[in-house]
Amino acid sequence: MTAPTLTAVTARPDGPGVAWARPAPGVRLACADWLDAARSLAPGSVDLVYADPPFNTGRARSGAAGAFADRWPSTRAWRGWLGERLAATVPLLTPAGSILLHLEPRVSHHARLILDDLLGEDAHVNTIVWSYGLGGSSPRQFARKHDDILFYARTPGGHYFDPPMVPATSRRLAGRLKKATDVLAIPAINNMAHERVGWPTQKPLALLDVLVRACCPLGGMMLDPCCGSGTALIAAQRAGRAAIGADASARAVALASARVSGDYGKIPRRL
């Protein structure tokens, strides 16, 4: 796999130069800090931000395809880092736009307060629970088996939403579909999974398929400023949405580029 060719483009004359590549139709990708990427994009141009940033776990996250640092001197320092980036990102949203911020329960309350400050408490739509199932049990606590995805609207009550349908579980509705709740039970990617590309904390396409289709209109623009291996970009592509991805790691960007351009052989390309 070779690194993508990056072409220098500055979308806003006063913003820092970010080199956006176009690895596939409808997809822009850059190796850039979230903050620089956000500052280089036009206000009001994004329908959905999906952000899956580092959680300050205090350790490096590594996988077969690469690694990224996930350590700040304190929770307060991480909160400041996140707050600065969210503040730069909120103005990018269209009036009907929204943000999905993917975190773990250990830190999600910090982000909720940041987003309450930036967008208002009324802008909180849901805290979506991603119930992923995998992992061990614990004799000391209820086993931790979910992430929180904070869903905020740019305009309280004015956001785009197309309720996803999921198979009903009750006997009465057996074999039929029902509207999804705020708990999404979707397995994490296991070691043998076909879609696994080796990026640490890679999220399953099945989860991003549901989120992108529900929260970004057909033909709309999705931004993932910490795109890692590019899972959200592929979900957007498969759903007929345009996508912008950025990541501070050149290895992640090369991987995401290969996935969206179809060069990475393992990824299912069908809708």
Give residues in contact with ligand SAM (CB under 6 A): 33-34, 52-54, 68, 199, 201-203, 225-226, 228-229, 231, 246-249, 252
CB closer to ligand SAM, 65 vs 123? 65
Residue 249 near residue 226 (C-beta atoms within 8 A): no
Count other C-beta atoms under 10 Å from residue 49's C-beta: 27
Q: Name which of 151, 27, 28, 46 is nearest 89 in CA terms.
A: 46
CB closer to ligand SAM, 33 vs 168? 33
Beta carbon of residue 140, minimum distance to ligand SAM (angstroms, whole number)? 26
CB closer to ligand SAM, 84 vs 168? 84
Beta carbon of residue 234, minimum distance to ligand SAM (angstroms, whole number)? 9
The residue number with the shortest CB distance to ligand SAM is: 228
Beta carbon of residue 266, minimum distance to ligand SAM (angstroms, whole number)? 14
Count other C-beta atoms under 10 Å from residue 144's C-beta: 13
Q: Name which of 231, 244, 253 is nearest 31 in CA terms.
A: 253
CB closer to ligand SAM, 98 vs 249? 249
Q: To which residue do tokens 């397995």 refer?
A: 187
Pairwise CA distance, residues 129 & 223, whole Å = 21
Beta carbon of residue 209, minimum distance to ligand SAM (angstroms, whole number)? 12
Q: Name which of 210, 233, 110, 117 is nearest 161 in CA terms.
A: 210
Q: Name which of 111, 123, 270, 126 is nearest 184 in CA terms.
A: 126
- N-to-C CA span, the chain: 25
Beta carbon of residue 224, minimum distance to ligand SAM (angstroms, whole number)? 7
CB closer to ligand SAM, 30 vs 214? 30
Beta carbon of residue 8, minimum distance to ligand SAM (angstroms, whole number)? 19
Beta carbon of residue 73, minimum distance to ligand SAM (angstroms, whole number)? 15
Pairwise CA distance, residues 160 & 47, whole Å = 8
CB closer to ligand SAM, 85 vs 159? 85
Count other C-beta atoms under 10 Å from residue 251's C-beta: 18
Residue 71 near residue 59 (C-beta atoms within 8 A): yes
CB closer to ligand SAM, 89 vs 98? 89
